[in-house]
């Protein structure tokens, strides 16, 4: 890779040019995200096949976010200093190892180790790429740029669970993980083989030596972005945890569970195609409020149905709801973060998100084991309803 020219101007960020500039990064993200999304579903289904309890499955899912929760802020500062090259390569190799382990040594402890590696590798790449995109496009093109990257995510959100579910039914769990490990290896080849232009570190403002992470948390607008994005991320990740568990309980095959998850991904792609229209009618905070409210309703309804068409429809609705938020949140993070601290801000956001992802699968897994999945779904609906009220109140009094 070689260093890019100085940061692009708005005139250079016309949609065709923007797509060409971002396409290599998007390809890398899709390939690694395929391993992550497919692996996340495969890990849950493999653990269930190995007779793991719901609590253990919840623990395993929480391990996806353990190291990101502990290290995201430090990694964000590192990314601010060094850019994309080393973090991206380390992230891709970590993801590949995480996907390969269950194919080599099938056991619940190995699945837990794979969860740590898959989650850590993907979240490092996620932070690295989104920070890079925010720096390599003009400020008035960020929503468009983040929408394009999010659409790439939608492709892998669709394909990852479907590939995992079909391959498990056809070839078994171990060969599924062997296949998933190939995707990050292909991403590494793309990253090394293509000349991906990156933002020059020297042209970016440096964070002051006295800067502290608590300064970000004390800023009202920044804190609100962290809280709401954490709730939205929790909604997304709990869907990927609770739907396979609920699907297995009501007798759905791995392929059918994969299709339900894939329907969710299709909806995220569809809504991102319509982001320009949506953004003309709703601002960022109105979009986030609406998303939280709709998601709460879907979690209320989901455990009440067993018919596959209804489950597909509900998955599509929640995909529409959550799919529209990622570009808005990422644009807000870059707009609100102090100069030279966007990577750190992404790290704080990642810590908030991953803290909920570490503890909530264990909590909801235990609740599901003790009282069934209906109370688990409804408890999450109540939490999101509270988040809707908070976001609505902040949106009304925001500057």
pLDDT digits (tens, 9 = 90+) for 35-69: 998 998 888 888 888 888 777 887 787 788 777 77
3-state helix, strand and coil shares in percent for the chain, rounded to the nearest 5: 85, 0, 15
List, for residues 314-341, the tens digit of each pLDDT value.
999 999 998 888 778 877 777 777 766 7
pLDDT of residue 375: 83
Identify the segments of the chain with pLDDT beneath 50. Answer: 1-12, 201-204, 399
Name the phi and psi angles at 53, rounded to 5: -75, 165
* Cα atoms found within 13 Å of the Cα of residue 162, Cβ hemisphere only: 13
Interatomic CA distance for residues 229 and 199, integer angstroms: 26
Which residues, 6 or more positions from 10, have their beta carbon under 8 angstroms from its beta carbon? 138, 140, 141
Residues 176, 9: Cα–Cα separation, whole Å: 44
Q: Where are the domains of the chain?
A: 13-202+214-397
pLDDT for residue 357: 67
Strand partners, 198: 3
What pLDDT does residue 33 have? 93
Give the 3-state secondary structure of residue 31. Answer: helix
Q: 193 exposed, middle or buried (CB, 10 Å; 0-12, 13-18, 19+)? A: exposed
Q: What is the pLDDT of residue 204?
A: 47
CATH code of the domain occupying 13-202+214-397: 1.20.1250.20
**Within its chain, how far is the Cα of 97 from the centroid?**
19
Q: Which residues pair with 3 in a beta bridge?
A: 198
pLDDT at 4: 39
pLDDT at 300: 92
* Nearest Cα to Cα of residue 216 among 350, 83, 70, 78: 350
- pLDDT given for residue 3 in this prediction: 37
């Amino acid at each position: 890779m070689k260093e890019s020219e100085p940061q692009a101007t708005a005139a250079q960020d016309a949609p065709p040019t923007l797509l060409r500039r971002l396409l290599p990064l998007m390809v890398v993200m899709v390939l690694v995200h395929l391993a992550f999304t497919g692996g996340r579903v495969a890990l849950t289904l493999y653990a269930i096949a190995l007779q793991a309890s719901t609590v253990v499955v919840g623990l395993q899912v929480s391990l996806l976010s353990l190291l990101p929760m502990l290290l995201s802020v430090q990694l964000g500062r590192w990314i601010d200093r060094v850019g994309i090259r080393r973090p991206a390569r380390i992230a891709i190799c970590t993801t590949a190892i995480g996907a390969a382990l269950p194919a080599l040594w099938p056991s619940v402890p190995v699945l837990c180790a794979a969860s740590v590696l898959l989650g850590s590798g993907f979240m490092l790449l996620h932070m690295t790429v989104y920070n890079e995109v925010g720096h390599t496009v003009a400020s008035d093109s960020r929503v468009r740029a983040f929408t394009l990257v999010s659409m790439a995510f939608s492709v892998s959100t669709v394909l990852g669970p479907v590939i995992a579910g079909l391959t498990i039914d056809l070839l078994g769990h171990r060969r599924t993980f062997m296949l998933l490990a190939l995707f990050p290896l292909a991403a590494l080849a793309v990253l090394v083989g293509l000349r991906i232009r990156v933002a020059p570190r020297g042209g970016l403002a440096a964070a002051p030596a006295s800067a502290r992470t608590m300064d970000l948390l004390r800023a009202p607008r920044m804190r609100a972005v962290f809280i709401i994005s954490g709730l939205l991320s929790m909604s997304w990740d709990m869907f990927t945890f609770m739907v396979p568990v609920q699907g297995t309980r009501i007798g759905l095959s791995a392929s059918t569970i994969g299709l339900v998850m894939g329907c969710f991904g299709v909806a995220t792609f569809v809504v991102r195609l319509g982001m320009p229209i949506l953004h003309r009618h709703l601002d960022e905070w109105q979009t986030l409020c609406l998303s939280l409210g709709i998601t709460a309703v879907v979690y209320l309804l989901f455990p009440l149905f067993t018919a596959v068409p209804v489950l597909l429809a509900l998955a599509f609705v929640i995909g529409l709801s959550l799919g529209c938020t990622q570009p808005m949140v990422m644009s807000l993070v870059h707009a609100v973060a102090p100069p030279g601290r966007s990577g750190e801000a992404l790290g704080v956001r990642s810590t908030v998100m991953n803290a909920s992802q570490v503890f909530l699968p264990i909590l909801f897994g235990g609740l599901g084991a003790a009282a069934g999945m209906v109370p688990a779904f409804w408890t999450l609906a109540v939490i999101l309803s509270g988040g809707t009220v908070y976001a609505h109140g902040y949106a009304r009094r925001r500057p």
